[in-house]
Every structure is written in structure tokens, then in C-alpha cells.
Amino acid sequence: MLDSERTYNIGADPREIQDAAFSGNAWVIVMYSQIVAQYQVTVKDYPNPPASNLTKL
């Protein structure tokens, strides 16, 4: 996982203070790791389109 990925339970922690994945909810890491892995496989066959360039109109 990247250092920037965080998972919050907005209902229980509306200020997003405690990362839900590291507060007794380790199942979140496994679930999202599987989803990210599936996405990375599809990106090889179907790459994302290039980002829009808003400076060249």
C-alpha cells in the first residue's frame, strides 16, 4: 500500500483522525488490495485516457 492511502469511517470518525484500516479493521487492507490488484491488471489491457489539458483551449 502507498503511504498516502487512508481509509476512514466517516460515521464514527467525522474528523478523519484515525485510519480505520489500522484500528482493528485489517480486513479493509485485504479487500482494497484485491480491488487495486484487479484494477492494475485491467489498466494493462485498457489504459486510462490521457488527462485533459486545460491550458490549451
Could you tell me the three cell numbers for 26?
A: 485489517
> Is the CB of residue 28 less than 8 Å from the CB of residue 7?
yes
- The one-digit pLDDT tens for each residue of the chain (57 residues) are 455 567 777 787 778 777 776 666 677 777 888 888 999 999 999 998 988 887 876
**What is d(CA 56, CA 43) in angstroms, rounded to the nearest whole number?**
27
| pTM, full prediction | 0.49
For residue 30, tell me if it sits in a domain. yes
Burial tier of 7 (Cβ tally within 10 Å: 0-12, 13-18, 19+): middle
Considering Cα of 25, then 29, then 35, then 36, what sign does the dihedral take? positive
Count: domains in the chain: 1
**What is d(CA 45, CA 27) in angstroms, rounded to the nearest whole number?**
29
For 9, the domain range is 1-47
